[in-house]
Amino acid sequence: MIEVQHVSFAVNKKILVNEVSLFVEPGEFVVIMGPNGAGKSTLLKMMSGALLPTKGKILLKGKDLATYKTDQLAKQRAVLSQHYEISFPLSAREIVMMGRYPYFNSFPRAEDEAIVTNRMERMQVNDLADRSYQTLSGGEAQKVQMSRVLAQIGDTSENEQKLLLLDEPVSHLDVKYQHQLLAVAKECCKKQVAVIAVLHDINLAIKYADRILFMKQASVIKNLAKHEPLTSELLESIFDIKCRIINLPEGGKFVVF
């Protein structure tokens, strides 16, 4: 799906991302973790096509990401950003409909309306449809934005694979909806979507990720697959804080810092 080849990014000689390589297949859920300033968001931005790498290149479906046109790219990948500021009052449904904009000309087709309704149901924000976005709470707003991004992904299949990028998607959500959002993203994976998410909660990462990419000081420290052992030494070297890994009796791990 996406192939990051020896990519670096530097601003004014300060290196934000250093020689990162990554290969993500459709159906995979990859989580990027690391302390603040590790270059996670910059890497995600490069994979979204918003930033061009200063070195190396990124292939999306075998084609150089830089050669995609903006509107073409919008049909291949969707991005959920950390923070949204809406300048004018629009209803939640109008916001979600924007996810379908790349697909229709002037007016939404029945198909677009159906997808919008479906995605809002999936994120459980249907009852907010007519509310002004600006009156929503931070969590509600985030769920509406997630619905929009899911609408942009649209329907996927074996020959129609897409990329979903999430930048700290659960930071405004309460526990229940953190899991709900990630579970919805995980569901997308079953339908040929590759998901790459920046997360801060290691326990969420353990639960949902097929692979965790640990970054520190602009470089990838470890690309950890699900079957590989997670050690407290690794976590301590990344986050500079003592931790304990508890093996749960029902299987799975829990990390306490």
Binding region for another protein (CB under 8 A): 48, 50, 69-75, 78-79, 81, 84-91, 94-95, 98-99, 101-102, 106-107, 132, 134-135, 152
**Cα angle: 175, vertex 208, 187; to 5 degrees:** 95
Q: HSE of 96 in the Cβ direction (CA atoms, 13 Å)?
A: 33
Q: Are 117 and 124 contacting, i.e. CB atoms less than 8 angstroms apart?
A: no
Cβ nearer to another protein, comparing 32 with 44: 44
Residue 132 vs 156, nearer CB to another protein: 132
Name which of 72 and 237 has its Cβ closer to another protein: 72
State the nearest-atom distance from the C-beta of 163 to another protein, in Å.
11
Name the residue nearer to another protein (CB basis): 52 or 246.
52
39: alpha, beta or left? (left if phi > 0; alpha if psi -120 to 50): left
Query: CB of 94: closest distance to another protein in angstroms?
Result: 6
Shortest Cβ 203–another protein spacing (Å): 29
Q: CA angle at residue 81 from 78 to 82, to 5 degrees? A: 155
CA angle 214, 41, 184 (to 5 degrees): 80
Q: Which is nearer to another protein, 50 or 175 (CB)?
A: 50
Distance in Å, CB of 138 to another protein, minimum = 9
Around Cβ 28, how many Cβ atoms within 10 Å?
A: 17
Tell me whether residue 54 or residue 84 sits nearer to another protein (CB atom). Answer: 84
Q: How far is the CB of 87 from another protein (least distance, A)?
A: 4
Conformational region of residue 91, where left means phi above 0, alpha means psi within -120 to 50, and beta covers everything else: beta
The C-alpha atoms of residue 184 and residue 151 are separated, in whole angstroms, by 12
CA atoms of 14 and 28, how far apart (whole Å)? 32
Least Cβ distance, residue 237 to another protein (angstroms) = 33
